Amino acid sequence: MTASKQNGLTESQAKVLKTVSDFIAENGYSPTAKEIAEILNVTQTSVFEQLSRLEKKRYITRQKGAARTIGILEQNCEKTPKNDGVKLVKVPVIGTIAAGVPIFADENMEGEILVDESNIGKGRFFALRVRGDSMINAGINNGDLVIIKRQPLAENGDIIAALIESEATLKRLSLSNGEVFLLPENEKYSPINVTCREDFRILGKMVTTVTVL
């Protein structure tokens, strides 16, 4: 198979990478393997193989079991894909939070995704990978990526990313009678009272989510 001029990728890998980039540019979210296969007129098995190789070569990042969480790792790409009328912004994806390390430090970043600016607006953003089922009644499932606008304050009822004991969590903010609670969207879990906690701070407000299908 002929090698691509794009940083040593094979022709098939370069086609899959370009298809993912173009799809994100047009839609603001990543394609499924089925959609890639249909666009390129190849089998899904072939697409899965190429995605695995692209991931090993650090061109993309994926979450197991997630249909729409293919992210482009920009450090290995020559340029950001563009599409007429679409302005893409790079949003860092935060992975495991290391104790004692600032949340936005490089150690906590697992890659970047490209998001259509018209879907999120202006500001500074980061993506947080959801772990657990505490927000399922809000349509947010384990493994989903949520886009967070960085801001230190939020309003009652907002879904926020908060930091408690060096761990990021996603909950609904409740302000009532001078008390501050973080509310889960799953009856299995109890509200968290953070009124007097010195280790609590708001990281930002959720603006959208990339849902696992």
One domain for residues 69 and 100: no
User: Residue 27: pLDDT above 80?
Assistant: no
Q: What is the arithmetic mean of pLDDT over 148-163? A: 92
**pLDDT score, position 74:** 54
Q: Is residue 6 included in any domain, yes or no?
A: no
Q: Which residue has the higher pLDDT, 56 or 155?
A: 155
Query: 77 vs 102, which has greater pLDDT?
Result: 102
CB 65 within 8 A of CB 142: no
The C-alpha atoms of residue 36 and residue 116 are separated, in whole angstroms, by 19
The CA radius of gyration of the chain, in Å to the nearest whole number, is 19
In a domain, 119, yes or no: yes
Residue 192: domain span: 88-210
Both 103 and 16 in a single domain? no
Q: Of the ranges 67-76, 103-112, 144-153, which one carries the lowest mean pLDDT score?
A: 67-76
Q: How many domains does the chain divide into? A: 2
Do the beta carbons of residue 123 and residue 149 sit within 8 Å? yes
pLDDT score of 146? 87
DSSP bridge partners of 91: 113
- For residue 139, pLDDT over 70 is answered with yes
- State the Cα–Cα distance between residues 186 and 154, nearest whole angstrom: 21
Global pTM reads 0.59
Q: How many CA atoms lie within 13 A of 137 on its CB side?
A: 10
CA-closest candidate to residue 204, choices 126, 129, 138: 126
Looking at the structure, tell me whether residues 165 and 206 fall in a common domain: yes
pLDDT score at 186: 93
The verdict on residue 4 lying in a domain is no
What is the reported pLDDT for 6?
44
CB atoms within 10 A of CB 139: 10
Per-residue model confidence (pLDDT) at position 59:
82
- Per-residue pLDDT tens for 167-183? 888 999 999 888 999 99
pLDDT in tens, 30-62: 788 888 999 999 888 888 888 888 888 888 877
The answer to whether position 107 is within a domain reads: yes
CATH classification at residue 96 = 2.10.109.10
Q: Give the residue numbers annotated as catalytic, written as ranges.
A: 134, 171
> Which tokens go with 48?
């899965």
CATH of the domain at 44: 1.10.10.10
Q: Which pLDDT belongs to residue 2?
A: 39
> pLDDT above 70 covers what percent of the chain?
78
Is 94 found in the same domain as 22?
no
| Rounded Cα gap, residues 178 and 143, in angstroms | 34
d(C-alpha 110, C-alpha 31), whole Å:
20
Residue 155 confidence (pLDDT) = 93
Lowest mean pLDDT among 8-12, 54-58, 209-213: 209-213
Domain identity same for 68 and 114: no
* Residue 63: closest CA among 141, 122, 168: 141
Q: Which residues of 85-109 are buried (b: 16+ CB within 10 A; e: fewer)?
A: ebebbebbbbeebeeeeebeeeebe
